[in-house]
Every structure is written in structure tokens, then in C-alpha cells.
A and B are shown apart, each in its own frame.
Chain A
Amino acid sequence: MRGRRAISGWLVVLVALHACVLFAGFFAPYDPTEQDRGRPYLPPMRLHFLDNRGHFHARPFAYALKLAEGSFDQYEEDTRRALPLKFMVRGANYRLLGLLPSRLHLFGAENERIYLLGSDAYGRDQLSRFLYGGRVSLFAGLLGAGVTVLLGLCVGAAAGYYGGWRDDLLMRLAELFLALPWLYLLFALRAFLPLAVGPLEAFFLIVAVLGAVGWARPARLVRGVVLSAKERDFVRAARGFGATDGYLLRRHILPATSSVLLTQAAILVPQFILAEMTLSFLGLGVPEPVPSWGNLLSSLQQYSVLVSYWWMYLPALIMLPFFLGYLGLGSELQERAEPYKIER
């Protein structure tokens, strides 16, 4: 029987990935908004172990890039200027977790900036922007899923426990929210909120919108669990002994919903990360210069970027492990909840 271990392997992977993003200041070599106007759209630098004479170096190095002869946007490696990769270097100031001031970075190079994922139109390091952008996107997804699940829990518990007209009203409302294709719903909600807002406001706006979009499905699932839980013998017995509604819900009924809620959260988080990306990609989300995974990709909407600077697409590929982690976690949780179901 798979998936019976105490701690899921997927969870470990996810925690590690999130740590990279959470400590972006340390893992990213540069400040995400620091520009290098002289070097727009620099291609990713390759790390070498062998130099051009075939000598092996234990310390990986990259070659500095120079403009190719007679060109204004084609770069080539300058084999006379090697940039050895240095670890634990001092660089740009940042605050670890927004609190501790520090200058320590995992890696960097002396004298010249090193671009492992290339640079964008303003010469900003794409790798740093990816890591810092993950903070916005991942935490919008996590917070949004948290809000959604809480909202779903409240609505579902109220509908299932109290029943009657409250149940009817809430479930009809849930049906309305489920009837709309979710991206249209997201757009509609976003359409009626202010467009020109600062990065922080935009972040919380997105979290609120995401919470409002997704509550219906968890609410219905919670309602189902509550309906069956409140008729269990021990709950009826407790009620017979004079337990209050609050006590019954807290002690006996809501704990039964935990596996449904966890599974829903694991499914919702990647969806919401994607939703934030979509909004920011379309210019409805977190605005520049603050990076997010969505606006990191939005330069690909320009045909010239698509044709000439394919490496602007690389961040999209690096995101995939995050989505894989959540998918794995979600299906594992589902498997634990219903172990005999054929996997879909």
C-alpha cells in the first residue's frame, strides 16, 4: 500500500522548494529590481568545468558575454574573461524574511554580474526575479486557498448543520458560483475592483478575489460531511447530554471535515497560483517592478521577444516542479481519503 507513510515525500519536496522562494534574498544573487541598462536580454550564461584549452576546473565558471561582431543584440562568450562562481559572497542588501538585514548570497561572481537565466529588457537578473516572484505567486496561492477553505468551511458547516432555509439559500448561491467558468468569474470579480493599485494592495486584492471565487466547491463538500456527521450516534448522544451547538461543531463535527479540507487545499493552491499568474500576466494583477511569476512571463506577449529571446520562457519551465509537487500531494491525500478508488 503506497502513501501510508507518516510524512509524504511530496510534502518534503514542496517545503524545500518553498524554502528556496521564502529565503529568496539568500538564494537569489541580486536584487530583483536592480537594473543593468547596458545589458538587455542577455542570454543565460552557461556554467563550464572545462576551459577552452580542455583544462578541468573544480570550481564551475561562466564566460563573460560580449556583443558579437557587427551586431547589437547577439552576444557571444568572451573566452578570455572567465567568471568563476563564488559561494557565500557578499552582495546586495536584503532582509531575510523581511526582518534580518543581511548581505550574504549563496553564489555570485566577482567584478561582473552572472546571469544564469539571462536578463530581461532592463538587464534585471531573471533568476533573482523568478525567486522573488515566487513569493508573490506562491503566497497568493497559499493565502487564497486558506481563505477559500475557511470560507467554505464556515458556509458548508452553517448550511449542513442548521439546514432548512439557510441550507437552501447558501447552496443555491454556491450553485451560482459553480455555474460560471472560473476564469470568467475571476475576470468579472477583478473587473469591478480598482485597476491601478500598488503592489501590496494588488496582492491582497488578488487573495480576496481568489477566496471569493473558490469557496463553493469546498462548501458543498463540507456540507455533505457535516450532514452525515451530525447524525452519527455519538453526536446524537452528546446532544442528548445537553451539548451546545458550538461544542458539537467544534468537538465532534468539524474534525470530520479535516481530510476533505486538506485535499481541497492541496488541489486549490496550484490552481490559485496559476490564477494569480494569469491575472498578472494579463496586467490585472501585481504590477511591475515587483516581480511575480505572471508578469515575468508577460514579456512573451510581444512577438519580438518570442522570436528573439526564447530564454524568457525558461522561468515557466522552472515552475513545473512546484506544480508537480502540489499535484502529487493532492493525489496522495485523495488516495488516503479513499484508498480503494481507482486512481484518476
Chain B
Amino acid sequence: MRYLLRRSAHAAFLLLGVSLLAFAFTVLAPGSYFDEMRLNPQIAPETIVALRSRYELDRPLPVRYVHWVISLAHGDMGFSFAYNTPVAPLLLVRARNTLLLTVTVMLLAWGIALPLGIWSADHLGRLPDRLLSWGTAALLVIPDLVLALGLLVIAVKMGRLPTGGMVSLNFENLSFLGKTRDLLLHMALPVAALVLSVLPLLVRHVRAAVAEVLLAPFLLAAEGHGIPRRTLLYRYALPAAANPLVALFGFSIGTLLSGSLLIEVVMSWPGLGPFLLEAILARDIYVVIGGVLLSTLFLVGGNFLADLLLYWADPRIRTETGA
């Protein structure tokens, strides 16, 4: 239990730190959302000053931070200048779309990587393993951006899959089944791009972790007892190799969130990516801070999940009495 408490304290510390850091950066920011208005002769300078003071852009940083925390407690996360509403509801819609994408990718990628990596480790050094290693190396070389654009070019040439957005224009009129089909079709390209971008990393690590365990004496003994190969791999070797893989799970969430940010923009998926980009270009600072904080929350949440998994998978951690 102490292990879990320590992990959650750590997570809270990270969130606090990131929010402070983000606010500290806003001091460095030259200009604000209202600067564009200065160019407009129809807006009086007094109006701009009034707007700035209304949104507290003229107050010292600690005051703004405290007010922002209070607004966070109210579930607002500050105020978006561009949308003229609290940030939280805006962000949540986008975050939901991003989560839909990333969770699907996570499940798919691990679902493919585990059997593939284990199979590869089982055939270590033989032809299929070498082919797979070459394949993953080739995928590893291709940057996300190049991969996503390439998939788009191919999809446009084929003309079968929708190449942007999340739903079709007539989405509201479709039946439930039609809606699901439409959503899945729109998800196909971004999901494919993201899976292909995280898969090589996962497969390689699974392969290395399992291959290392397969050399252990207890597995040789188990093999000598005539335990079937499949049981040996999945029931004996996999749990023993779980520790580095759970750490990788936490790490892969970060990679995936970053990848998703870019691929959402390229494939115009209405998630956090395009929204954040728009906010940066408009200097809508509270939206930027909110988006960054939310991504940290996802990452921290994912890592917490990884810690839970580790707690469940590794008896050594359960018996450890604090350190």
C-alpha cells in the first residue's frame, strides 16, 4: 500500500510542478491575445487596457496562478480568449477524441506486439526473427510525419478511406450501426499511422525482454519437464519478463501522445493536437496551459496504471516494505 501512496504523491507533485512551470513560461511570452487588436483602429487603446485588466494579464504572476488554481477547482481551468468561454469544457471534448484514438491504438499495438515479440524471441536468430527485426528497423527509420503523409497519399490514390475529420457530414442521420461504421472508417488512417509508429519499439522491447528470460535456468528446467511450448512462453516466460515491459507501457504512452498530437493535425482529427496548435497561433495562453497539463495528466495517469500493473505482476514490490 505504501508503494501506491508514494506513487500517487509523486504523480501529484508532477502535476503541480508542470503547472508551475507552464505559468513561469508565460512570463517569457512576448505579446498576448489582445495585441492583434492594437492594429485595429476601431478599438480604443482604453478598451484593450480594460480587457487586459479584466483577464488579469496585468497582474503579477503569483496572483494569476492562485486565481487559476481557484478556477481549476471550480472546473474551469481558466478562460479562453478566443472562444470567450471557460477552457475546461472546450478541452474535454477534444481530449475525449484524443483518448478514443490513443486508447484504441494502445490496445491494438500491444495486442499485436506481445505475440509477435514473443514469437520472435522464441525463434531468436533464425530467419523469421531476422526478417521481423529488419521489418521493425525499417519502420523505426520512417519518421511519424513521413509515415502519416505517406499513408494519406496512398489513401487518396486508393480513394476508399476518408482522409480527414472524425465523422461524415451526414453523421447525425445515420443509424447506430451506420454511425459506428462511419467512425471506424474515419479512425482507420490515424490509427494505422499511430500503430505503425509505436509498434516497432514495442516489438523490439518485448522480444529482448522475453529472449533474456528464455535463457534463465528455471525455464530450461521447465522445458525439461515437458511443459508445452505455448504454456512455457505465455505462463512462465511472459510474467517473468513483465517488469521492463510494464515500464515500457508507461513510456510508450508519452510517445503515443506526442505522435497523436502530430498525426491529429496531419489527418485533421478533432483532438487536442489541432486545438492546441490553433491556441498557440492565437496566443490563447490558458488553453495552451490547459492542454499541456491535460497531456501530463494522461501520461501520469498511464504511469500510475503501469505502477498498479507492476504491483499486481511483481510480488517483489508487494512484499517490499517502503524504501
Q: Mark A105-130, 1 if CB is under 8 A from B, else 0.
A: 00000000000000000000000000
Chief secondary structure at chain A's binding surface? helix
Question: Which chain B residues numbered 31 to 89 have a C-beta less than 8 Å away from chain A?
Answer: 31
Q: Is the beta-carbon distance between A194 and B149 smaller than 8 angstroms?
A: no
The stretch from B138-146, B174-182, B229-237 touching chain A is B138-146
- Residue in chain A with minimal CB distance to B300: A179
Chain A residues whose C-beta falls within 8 Å of the C-beta of B262 in the assembled complex: 183, 278
With contacts A176-B14, A184-B291, A187-B292 known, is A192 near B26, CB below 8 A? yes
Q: Tell yes or no: B239 within 8 A of A by CB.
A: no
Identify the interface centre among A175, A191, A303, A320: most chain B CB within 10 Å of its CB. Answer: A191
Chain B residues whose C-beta falls within 8 Å of the C-beta of A13 in the assembled complex: none
CA distance A270 to B144 in the complex (A): 12
Question: Which chain B residues numbered 261 to 320 have a C-beta less than 8 Å away from chain A?
Answer: 261-262, 265-266, 276-277, 279-281, 283, 285, 288-289, 291-292, 295-296, 299-300
Chain A residues whose C-beta falls within 8 Å of the C-beta of B104 in the assembled complex: none
Q: Tell yes or no: B128 within 8 A of A by CB.
A: no
State how many residues of chain A have any CB contact under 8 Å with chain B.
46
The stretch from A34-42, A237-245, A306-314 touching chain B is A306-314
Q: Is the beta-carbon distance between B25 and A188 smaller than 8 angstroms?
A: yes
- Residue in chain A with minimal CB distance to B20: A176
Q: Tell yes or no: B22 within 8 A of A by CB.
A: yes
Q: Is the beta-carbon distance between B257 and A344 smaller than 8 angstroms?
A: no
Q: Tell yes or no: A284 within 8 A of B by CB.
A: yes
Q: Is the beta-carbon distance between B280 and A284 smaller than 8 angstroms?
A: yes
Chain B residues whose C-beta falls within 8 Å of the C-beta of A342 in the assembled complex: 207-208, 211-212
CA distance A81 to B270 in the complex (A): 49
- Residue in chain B with minimal CB distance to A194: B30
CA distance A319 to B145 in the complex (A): 12
22 residue pairs from A and B, CB less than 8 Å apart: A172-B17, A175-B14, A176-B17, A176-B21, A180-B295, A180-B296, A181-B257, A181-B261, A181-B295, A183-B257, A184-B258, A193-B28, A194-B30, A274-B145, A284-B280, A297-B149, A300-B149, A316-B146, A316-B150, A323-B143, A342-B208, A344-B204
Give me the interface of B with A, judged by CB distance under 8 Å: 13-14, 17-18, 21-22, 25-26, 28-31, 133, 137, 140-146, 149-150, 152-153, 156-157, 163-164, 204-205, 207-208, 211-212, 254-255, 257-259, 261-262, 265-266, 276-277, 279-281, 283, 285, 288-289, 291-292, 295-296, 299-300
